[in-house]
Amino acid sequence: MTNYPRAVLFDFDGTLADSYAAIAASVNHVRAAHGLSPLPEDKVRPHVGRGMPHLLAQTVPGCNQAVDQARYRAHHPSVMKPLTRLLPGTVELLAALKSEGKRVGVCSNKPRGFTRDLLHHLGIDTYIDVVLGPEDVPHPKPAPDMLRAGLKRLGVAPSDALYIGDMVVDVETARAAGVPVWVVATGSDERQALETAKPVRIFENLTDVLHALVEC
Per-residue model confidence (pLDDT) at position 4: 80
**Contact between 18 and 192 (Cβ < 8 Å):** no
Total length of the chain: 216
Inter-CA distances, 103 with 9, 122, 126, Å: 8, 19, 12
pLDDT digits (tens, 9 = 90+) for 3-19: 789 999 999 999 999 99
**Residues 34-67, buried b or exposed e (16+ Cβ, 10 A)?**
eebeebebeebbbbbbbbbeebbebbbeebeeee
The catalytic residue among 11, 68, 166, 170 is 11
Residue 184: closest CA among 20, 55, 15, 8: 15
Residue 2 has pLDDT above 80, yes or no: no
| Mean pLDDT rounded to a whole number for the chain | 96
Does residue 1 register a pLDDT over 80? no
What are the pLDDT digits (tens) for 73-119?
A: 999 999 999 999 999 999 999 999 999 999 999 999 999 999 999 99
DSSP β-bridge partners for residue 181: 163
In this prediction the pTM is: 0.95
Residue 183 near residue 206, CB atoms below 8 Å: no
Longest dimension (CA), the chain: 55
As a whole number of angstroms, the distance between CA 216 and CA 208 comes to 13
Residue 125 among the catalytic residues: no
CA gyration radius, the chain: 17
